[in-house]
Amino acid sequence: MRKITTTAFVFVACFLIFFVSTPAKADSTSDYQQKVAEAQAKINDLQSQLDQAKIDLASWSSNADGSSSQINDAQTAVMDAQDVLDSAQTGYETARADYDAQFTVNQHAEANVAQAVVAVNSAADLVDSTYASYLQAQANSDSAQASMNQAQSDYDTKLINAGGQGSTPGLLVDVYTGINKTGNPPSRSDVVYSKCKTVSVSNIDSNWGGGSIFGCASDYVMLHYRGYITYPTTTKVYFQAPADDGFYLSIGGQTVINDWSLKGCGANSTGMFSFTGGKSYAVDGWFYEWTGGACSTLNYKPLGLNTFSVVPGSMFSQNAVAEWVKDPALKVILDSKLDVYLKAVALEEKANKDYLSAVDSYDASSAYLISVENNLSLKRSLLKQQDFVLQSVEDKWQNASDRKAVCDAALRDLKLEYASIFDAIDKATLKVDALEKDLEQAKLDLENIPKPSAADKRVPKKVVAKYFADAAYVPRGGFVPNPK
């Protein structure tokens, strides 16, 4: 085995010596020329590509210069737009603060108006309630006054006889018939005509129509009223006598009515008599009925009253003058009615004061309401102005924001475009660098093409391998420790 290994080693050594010592063999002339032509063509092509790449790089660089200028302009526009936007935002914040402050003032004014409206409504309700109370108090006062006036009238007119002569109330009436025998008008006489009868009446208030008068006759009848009349107070009293036909009246010898002629049931004249309170005066009254319907009434109206009424029987007496006095019982009633009336008047006055006070309060509340409404109108006008200003600055801010967005978009687009150009420049630069390297390598390849040379006439020397003797020393093999 050792012998075979030694032989192989000698063979490999001889082969290496032969290969190293043998010189490189050059191409032929035609091969050389062909390789040179191919290399030169490659160089020319790479040069052409390099020239075009440099042109493209210069073009992209030129575009980049223009884009850079545009980007600078766009950047300036963005900064300017940002300044305008910041100014618009500051203006808005100022206007907003003014608006909010004015809005707060407006809210306070509206709250004042709302409170004033509540106060006015409350005052109006108080006016209504106090006025209703006043009307009720007034009605109570009027009712109390009417009751008092009636009690006063009863006390003044419903006299009682103090006793003595004239205690028989009413009047005596002598009835005469056949009065037409002396012609119209008849004579007021107690001896000329036939006397039918004497009757007693409470007062003068009869309407017989076409019937019999006191059962004596229906036509050509004359009546003679006799007695006394008394008025409770000293005053003037008007009288009138609606009669069909004639009527005549004297009081205390004084002619008061003289309608002694044919007529319907009406009064053609009015007379007046002045009474002394409590004094009785003789009554001399005459009536005649000619033909047709018959009526006889005596009305009176004290001075100061507006309407006539029938003279009551309490004012008449049949006999001599009687002393009529006021009824003490009616005085008690009158005093009671007077006390009620005075209290009602006091309540009415208080109700009126309450009502007037409520009206004053209402007027003050209304005046205050008008004042705060005017103030609110002014505040609303100012708020409207602030709202207009706020809208203006909001529009300005929005426009500035829109302008800033447009400038940002333009800058972004330019940057994207510049990035695209820069990428193209980068690629063009890499291409130029690659072509320059390829061109340099092509030139080196051209230089390294072997030139043609004469053929080598030497014959290689044969190497005869010699074998080692069997006893030759063989080197020790390498050692690799083998850990246990």
pLDDT tens digits, 124-139:
999 999 999 999 999 9
**Beta carbons of 193 and 176 less than 8 angstroms apart:** yes
Mean of the pLDDT values across residues 307-314? 92
How far, in Å, are 27, 32, 94, 478 from residue 484 at the CA level? 60, 64, 93, 18
pLDDT for residue 480: 55
> Distance between CA 385 and CA 392 in Å, rounded?
11
Which architecture, in CATH terms, is 27-158+332-459? Up-down Bundle (1.20)
**CB-based burial label for 62 (10 Å; 0-12, 13-18, 19+):** exposed
**Beta carbons of 214 and 200 less than 8 angstroms apart:** no
Closest listed residue to residue 61, CA positions, set 334, 358, 441, 421: 421
What is the DSSP pairing of strand 299-302 with strand 246-251?
Answer: unpaired
Q: Could you give the 3-state DSSP secondary structure of residue 174?
A: strand
pLDDT tens digits, 49-88:
989 988 988 888 888 777 778 888 888 998 998 999 899 8
Of 142-146, 264-268, 341-345, 418-422, which range is least confident? 418-422
User: Token pair of 469, please?
Assistant: 């003797």
pLDDT for residue 345: 93
- Mean pLDDT, the chain, rounded, equals 85
DSSP 332: H
Q: Domain map of the chain by residue range?
A: 27-158+332-459, 159-326
> Distance between CA 416 and CA 421 in Å, rounded?
9
Q: Cis peptide leading into 185, omega within 30 of 0?
A: yes
> Rg of the Cα trace of the chain?
76
Residue 483 has pLDDT above 80, yes or no: no
Q: Cis peptide leading into 56, omega within 30 of 0?
A: no
pLDDT for residue 461: 55
Closest listed residue to residue 244, CA positions, set 286, 293, 196: 293
Which architecture, in CATH terms, is 159-326? Sandwich (2.60)
**Beta carbons of 258 and 185 less than 8 angstroms apart:** no
pLDDT for residue 129: 94
What lies within 8 Å, CB to CB, of 460 at 6+ separation is: 18, 21, 22
Residue 16 has pLDDT above 50, yes or no: no
Read off the pTM: 0.43
- Phi first, then psi, for residue 63 (nearest 5°) are -60, -40
Q: Distance between the two ends of the chain, CA-based, in angstroms?
A: 29
Closest listed residue to residue 96, CA positions, set 404, 300, 386, 460: 386
Helix (H) or strand (E) holding 14: helix 2-21
Mean of the pLDDT values across residues 256-283? 91
**Beta carbons of 341 and 145 less than 8 angstroms apart:** yes
pLDDT for residue 30: 87
Q: Could you give the 3-state DSSP secondary structure of residue 128?
A: helix
Amino acid letter, 315? M
Long-range interactions of 17-20: CB distance < 8 A, separation 24+: 17/463, 18/460, 18/463
Closest listed residue to residue 297, CA positions, set 289, 287, 284: 287
What lies within 8 Å, CB to CB, of 475 at 6+ separation is: none
Residue 400 has pLDDT above 80, yes or no: yes
pLDDT tens digits, 337-374:
899 999 999 999 999 999 999 999 999 999 999 999 99
pLDDT for residue 482: 66
pLDDT for residue 21: 43
